[in-house]
């Protein structure tokens, strides 16, 4: 090789080294990890799939979380209970949210509480309070959708009915119909394409209206009664025999239709998971597992809350004062001043974010979009437009989180939810931050978010779990 070629090669190598040092580049989990770690990742994914298959509503998720933490030695907490170092407790709020915590030996006023906060509700189709009617040979349930959905996605798919009914006498009954292979399922009609020309000229919001999201629940007439609504009577007779309910009992029920799908691996290499409710179970389950699997000298708290999809409202959403009350109870029981504890506390708001979709590239700003399999995604700020209704974490807290992840080999990335003037969204983060707690959003990037069947990467799920473990360690 001539001297010139040698000099050129040396210069090129120096430039590469400098670029490696100075440039920021996202890492792909499957490129960076060895087969042993990927095997752990896939095992965690299988455990996650098992969990979300039986946790499709916030009530079911809360119930299943209770069973998991009880098996791990946690005991129920009630306001007024005395706490001490080493205690492992859980608190259930109206069967729709759960707080799980461990009391560490570090002083709360100096170290605060390490918080992981996720939500366990997902978009779905709720029943109206007076839902049942018969029309043209069908019996239907009228519905009112919950959360931000594309309504047309919920037609012509198998649906299961989940929920709780409070009967006339005050007793309750839990309902799950459509998950077992021998169960019937439920269905929302759509118009055949041969007659759908006018429908297809509508904008996406109007292709299916809210009042057309009616569940087919029956079609067989009851014999022996001379009444108008014989199909409705037959369905009510079946429900009365099985559950002891009357039509009036729907007034005090919470029933919803969710996709009757199981979570499954996607792709020949099984790198992805398809499932209902990745938003936000793909963060809630890692947050729950993290507090069970991690030892820490700090006091740590996992919050799995309700109602995020409709603004964190009510007494089970993150706006409820009960979560602040719980933190105050922990502080006061350990003879600490609650406001001092909150000022030193830190929270990862564990919520999903949008993942760059190459089929729809125009809505993303690629440099600041989450990329599939590039790890847990941090959203320094949320909100929409000019950061309206945002939590915007400080540079100092962002730097602290970066250092933790770098020192513990967590693969992570940063993102925004779409182009500035197009995207946006909210999480529970701002409601935690309003308590004077440093808070930042981090979670799993999702393809087809809020659809009946969403897609995530196993690598992103696993690194979100690792991120949570190392944050609270």
Q: What is the Rg, in whole angstroms, of the alpha carbon atoms belonging to the chain?
A: 25
Inform me whether the pLDDT recorded for 7 exceeds 80: no
Inform me whether the pLDDT recorded for 457 exceeds 90: yes
Tell me the per-residue pLDDT of 83-139, one tens digit each, with 9 for 90 and over: 999 999 999 999 999 999 999 999 999 999 999 999 999 999 999 999 999 999 999
Inform me whether the pLDDT recorded for 399 exceeds 90: yes
Q: Calculate mean pLDDT across residues 252-259.
A: 98
Q: Give the pLDDT confidence score for residue 224 in this predicted structure.
A: 80
Residue 242 in tokens: 């099985």
Residue 445 in tokens: 């990037």
Helix, strand, coil % over all residues of the chain, rounded to 5: 35, 25, 35
**Across the beta sheet with 264-266, what order do the strands follow?**
264-266, 272-275, 454-457
Q: Give the pLDDT confidence score for residue 325 in this predicted structure.
A: 97
Residue 10 pLDDT class (50, 70, 90 cuts): low
Inform me whether the pLDDT recorded for 16 exceeds 90: no
Please state, in angstroms and rounded to a whole number, the distance separating the CA atoms of residues 383 and 312: 14
Q: Which residues contact 22 (CB under 8 A, 6 or more apart)?
A: none
Tell me the per-residue pLDDT of 372-396, one tens digit each, with 9 for 90 and over: 999 999 999 998 899 998 999 999 9
Please state, in angstroms and rounded to a whole number, the distance separating the CA atoms of residues 319 and 432: 9
Tell me the per-residue pLDDT of 194-239, one tens digit each, with 9 for 90 and over: 999 999 999 999 999 999 999 999 999 999 878 899 999 999 999 9
Q: Give the pLDDT confidence score for residue 374 in this predicted structure.
A: 98
Q: Give the pLDDT confidence score for residue 12 in this predicted structure.
A: 62
Q: Give the pLDDT confidence score for residue 15 in this predicted structure.
A: 67
- Residue 325: its H or E element: helix 322-333
Find the range with the poorest average confidence among 1-15, 30-44, 220-234, 301-315: 1-15
Q: Calculate mean pLDDT across residues 2-18.
A: 66
Bigger pLDDT: 408 vs 3:
408
C-alpha 247 chain-centroid distance: 33
Tell me the per-residue pLDDT of 50-96, one tens digit each, with 9 for 90 and over: 999 999 999 999 999 999 999 999 999 999 999 999 999 999 999 99
Average pLDDT taken over every residue of the chain: 95
Q: Give the pLDDT confidence score for residue 133 in this predicted structure.
A: 98
Q: Calculate mean pLDDT across residues 271-275.
A: 98
The alpha carbon dihedral of 433, 93, 126, 248 has a sign of: negative
Q: Give the pLDDT confidence score for residue 128 in this predicted structure.
A: 98
Q: Give the pLDDT confidence score for residue 173 in this predicted structure.
A: 96
**b/e sequence 116-139, b meaning 16+ C-beta within 10 Å:** bbbbbbbbbbbbeeebbebeeebb
Tell me the per-residue pLDDT of 400-432, one tens digit each, with 9 for 90 and over: 999 999 999 999 999 999 999 988 888 999 999
Q: Calculate mean pLDDT across residues 250-265.
A: 97
């Amino acid at each position: 090789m001539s001297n010139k070629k040698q000099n050129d090669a040396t210069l090129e190598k120096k430039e590469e080294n400098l670029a490696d040092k100075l440039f920021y580049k996202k890492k792909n989990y499957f490129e960076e990890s060895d087969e042993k770690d990927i095997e752990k990742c896939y095992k965690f994914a299988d455990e996650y799939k098992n969990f979300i298959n039986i946790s499709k509503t916030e009530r079911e998720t809360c119930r299943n979380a209770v069973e998991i933490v009880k098996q791990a030695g946690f005991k129920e907490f009630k306001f007024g209970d005395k706490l001490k170092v080493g205690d492992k407790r859980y608190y259930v709020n109206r069967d729709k949210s759960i707080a799980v915590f461990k009391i560490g030996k570090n002083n709360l006023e100096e170290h605060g509480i390490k918080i992981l906060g996720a939500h366990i509700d997902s978009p779905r189709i709720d029943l109206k309070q007076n839902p049942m009617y018969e029309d043209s040979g069908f019996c239907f349930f009228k519905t009112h959708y919950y959360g931000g959905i594309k309504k047309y996605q919920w037609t012509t798919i198998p649906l299961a009915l989940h929920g709780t009914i409070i009967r006339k006498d005050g007793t309750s009954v839990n309902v799950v119909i459509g998950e077992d292979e021998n169960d019937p399922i439920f269905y929302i009609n759509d118009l055949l394409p041969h007659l759908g020309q006018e429908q297809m000229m509508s904008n996406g919001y109007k292709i299916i209206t809210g009042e057309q999201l009616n569940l087919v629940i029956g079609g067989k007439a009851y014999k022996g009664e001379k009444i108008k609504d014989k199909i409705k009577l037959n369905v009510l007779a079946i429900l009365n025999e099985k559950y002891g309910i009357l039509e009036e009992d729907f007034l005090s029920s919470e029933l919803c239709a969710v996709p009757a799908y199981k979570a499954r691996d996607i792709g020949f290499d099984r790198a992805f998971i398809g499932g209902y409710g990745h938003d936000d179970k793909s963060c809630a389950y890692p947050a729950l597992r993290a507090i069970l699997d991690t030892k820490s000298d700090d006091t740590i708290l996992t919050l799995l809350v309700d109602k995020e999809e409709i603004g964190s409202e009510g007494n089970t959403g993150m706006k409820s004062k009960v979560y602040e009350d719980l933190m105050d109870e922990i502080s006061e029981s350990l003879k600490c001043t609650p406001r001092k504890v909150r000022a030193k506390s830190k929270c990862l708001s564990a919520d999903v974010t949008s993942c760059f979709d190459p089929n729809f590239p125009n809505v993303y700003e690629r440099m600041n979009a989450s990329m599939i399999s590039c790890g847990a995604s941090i959203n320094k700020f949320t909100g929409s437009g000019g950061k309206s209704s945002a939590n915007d974490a400080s540079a100092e807290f962002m730097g602290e989180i970066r250092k933790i992840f770098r020192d513990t080999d967590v693969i992570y990335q940063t993102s925004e939810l779409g182009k500035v003037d197009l995207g946006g969204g909210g999480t529970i983060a701002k409601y935690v931050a309003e308590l004077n707690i440093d808070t930042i959003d981090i979670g799993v990037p999702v393809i087809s978010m809020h659809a009946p069947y969403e897609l995530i990467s196993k690598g992103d799920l696993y690194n979100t779990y690792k991120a949570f473990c190392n944050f609270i360690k």
